[in-house]
C-alpha cells in the first residue's frame, strides 16, 4: 500500500492539479488531498462552483479558469505541479492530443481515471465512451508519461441522477444497463488520493488498478437498495432506447453525449469482475452500495 503520510518538517507539500474537481468524484478527491496537507489546484470553468466552503477554497485551493480543451489554461494550471489527477470526459480526439502535449512539456506524474469496461484484447471497444478511455490510456503511455491508471467500475454517485424521479414517485425509469460491481466514489477517491500522495512511486503498479465494489448489481438491484434505505417500495422501469433518448435530450444533454450513453447501455457487456484493488490501495475493503444509499438518503427525500 502506498505511503500517504502527511508531509512533515522541511518536506514540501506536493502540488496536485485536480481536473473534474466540481464533479461527484473530483470533489471527494479534493477533500482528501486537502486533509493530507497537499497544495491543491483545480482547473474549473466557473470559480463559484469550486468544491468546499469559501474559506477552504481561499486557503487551500488555487483555481485556474478554463477547461481541458484550452491549452493556454492547461499550461498555466500545470506550472509547478507535481502530479495530475486526470478525468477526461470528452469525445474529442484532437483536444486529447493537445492536452497530452502539454502534459509532456510539464512532465508531472499523471493519475488517469479510466473505466473497467476496457477490454485490453479488443481492437475496438464496446462503445464510444470506453473507446475514449482506451485511446487516452494509449496516448499517455505512448507519450512516455508512465501514467498510473485507475479503472473504475460504475460509480454509486450515478444514482444521484434518479433523485428527481424519486422525489416525484416510487419508480425509477431509464436504460437497463448491464450489471457491474458498482463502486462507492468515496472509495475511488481514497484510492486516487493514496496514489497521488504516495511517497514511493516506484512501488505503484504500471498495470491498471481495477476499482470495484464488493457485489455485482443491476439497476433494479440498486433501486431496491435505495428503497430499503428510504423505507419505500421502489421499482425500476426499463426504458426503450427511443424514449430514453427523447428524455435525455429534453433534459438538455448534448446529442453526441446522449448517443454515446445509449450505445454504452446497449453494447457494454455485463461485468462480474470483483477485485481487492480498493483495499490494496487504501488498506480497507470497498464499501457496499447499500451503505452508500444509507449515507445519502437525504438526497432522495
Say what the pLDDT of residue 60 is. Answer: 58
**Residue 31 belongs to a domain with what CATH number?**
3.40.50.720
What is the average per-residue pLDDT within 174-203? 91
Residue 87 lies in a domain: yes
Residue 191 lies in a domain: yes
What is the number of residues in the chain?
301
Range of the domain at 197: 15-152+185-211+274-284
Residue 6 lies in a domain: no
Question: Does pLDDT of 4 surpass 50?
Answer: no
Say what the pLDDT of residue 283 is. Answer: 97
Say what the pLDDT of residue 174 is. Answer: 87
User: pLDDT over 70 for what percent of the chain?
Assistant: 91
Residue 123 lies in a domain: yes
pTM, whole model, 2 decimals? 0.89
Residue 251 lies in a domain: no
Cβ-based neighbour number of residue 194 at 10 Å: 21
**Percentages helix, strand, coil for the chain, rounded to the nearest 5?**
45, 15, 40
Question: Does pLDDT of 76 surpass 80?
Answer: yes
What is the average per-residue pLDDT within 202-223? 92
Residue 3 lies in a domain: no
Residue 235 lies in a domain: no
Residue 233 lies in a domain: no
Say what the pLDDT of residue 181 is. Answer: 97
Q: Within its chain, how far is the Cα of 46 from the centroid?
A: 20
Say what the pLDDT of residue 6 is. Answer: 41
Q: Within its chain, how far is the Cα of 53 from the centroid?
A: 22
Count of the separate structural domains present in the chain: 1
Higher pLDDT, 246 or 299: 299
- C-alpha 147/C-alpha 142 separation (Å) is 10
Amino acid at each position: 500500500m502506498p505511503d500517504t503520510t502527511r508531509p512533515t518538517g522541511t518536506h514540501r507539500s506536493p502540488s496536485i492539479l485536480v481536473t473534474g474537481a466540481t464533479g461527484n468524484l473530483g470533489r471527494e478527491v479534493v477533500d482528501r488531498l486537502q486533509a493530507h496537507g497537499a497544495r491543491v489546484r483545480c482547473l474549473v470553468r466557473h470559480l463559484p462552483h469550486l468544491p468546499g466552503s469559501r474559506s477552504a477554497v481561499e486557503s487551500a485551493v488555487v483555481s485556474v479558469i478554463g477547461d481541458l480543451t484550452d491549452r493556454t489554461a492547461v499550461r498555466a494550471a500545470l506550472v509547478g505541479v507535481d502530479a495530475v489527477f486526470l478525468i477526461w470526459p470528452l469525445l474529442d480526439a484532437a483536444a486529447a492530443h493537445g492536452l497530452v502535449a502539454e502534459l509532456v512539456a510539464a512532465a508531472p506524474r499523471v493519475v488517469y481515471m479510466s473505466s473497467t469496461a476496457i477490454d485490453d484484447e479488443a481492437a475496438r471497444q464496446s462503445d464510444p465512451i470506453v473507446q475514449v478511455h482506451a485511446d487516452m490510456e494509449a496516448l499517455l503511455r505512448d507519450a512516455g508519461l508512465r501514467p498510473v491508471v485507475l479503472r473504475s467500475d460504475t460509480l454509486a454517485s450515478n444514482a444521484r441522477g434518479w433523485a428527481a424521479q424519486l422525489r416525484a414517485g416510487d419508480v425509477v425509469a431509464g436504460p437497463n444497463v448491464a450489471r457491474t460491481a458498482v463502486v462507492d466514489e468515496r472509495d475511488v477517491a481514497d484510492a486516487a488520493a493514496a496514489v497521488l500522495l504516495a511517497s514511493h512511486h516506484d512501488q505503484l503498479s504500471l498495470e491498471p488498478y481495477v476499482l470495484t465494489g464488493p457485489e455485482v448489481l443491476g439497476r433494479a438491484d440498486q433501486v431496491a437498495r435505495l428503497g430499503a434505505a428510504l423505507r419505500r417500495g421502489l421499482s425500476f422501469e426499463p426504458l426503450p432506447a427511443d424514449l430514453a433518448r427523447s428524455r435525455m435530450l429534453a433534459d438538455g444533454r448534448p446529442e453526441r453525449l446522449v448517443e454515446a450513453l445509449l450505445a454504452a447501455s446497449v453494447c457494454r457487456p455485463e461485468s462480474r469482475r470483483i477485485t481487492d484493488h480498493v483495499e490494496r490501495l487504501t488498506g480497507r475493503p470497498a464499501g457496499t452500495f447499500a451503505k452508500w444509499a444509507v449515507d445519502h438518503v437525504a438526497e432522495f427525500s
